Structure 1
Amino acid sequence: MANDFVRACAVGEVPAGEAIGVQVNGEPVAVVHTEDDQFFAIRDVCSHAEVPLSEGDVEGCTIECWLHGSQFDLRTGKPTGLPATEAVPTYETRISDGDVYVAVQTATQEPVK
């Protein structure tokens, strides 16, 4: 396992179609397990209201903020539904030996167009 990946949680801790909030190297991260068995990691802070995204609903590759309904693409962090207009950083994930690993220092944030 590469040095930049840190264990975030066990695969079994995140039911399909849900997210959990964890700390990875001091950063708040939402680990998301989609219904089609993919894992994503996104900063666990809504760019609109600064509340945990991990408490929101997951549908496909989208997570919705529970407070005002902002939606974010789990692959890019880009907002796909208002009121959010700023992207949220996403992190590369790897699965190994039943655990989810996240590389927070390699966060990507695509510019919003």
Structure 2
Amino acid sequence: MLFRVDAASPVSLAGQIAVQVRAGLVSGDLSPGERLPPARDLARALQVNMHTVLRAYGQLRDEGVIEMRQGRGAWVREDAGPGLMRVTELATQLVAEARKLGLSPQEITRLVERA
């Protein structure tokens, strides 16, 4: 998979990398179980700081999209796929909209649990 970043974009560099991984899963360019490039190599190829790549990978790990092991790299979780990406995107939109309305995290959680 080919990664690209745009320094002029309003989206952070780490955010751009994370979006591309999610999009790769949806499009089929990335498959569950597939290994991602080592952070150091990807950072070098994109000419960004390695911590930028690690931040993107950390975000994806927190979303349940990838797994990371120190010294072993990062790979797409076996249960990750287009469905998970769609639900993650919808959840992100829900939280953003709820925050605009001034809802607390607890109120958002209660709404989701009731749904």
Task: Give TM-score scaled by structure 1 length.
Answer: 0.25
Choose between structure 1 and 2: higher strand proportion. Answer: 1
Structure with bigger gyration radius = 2
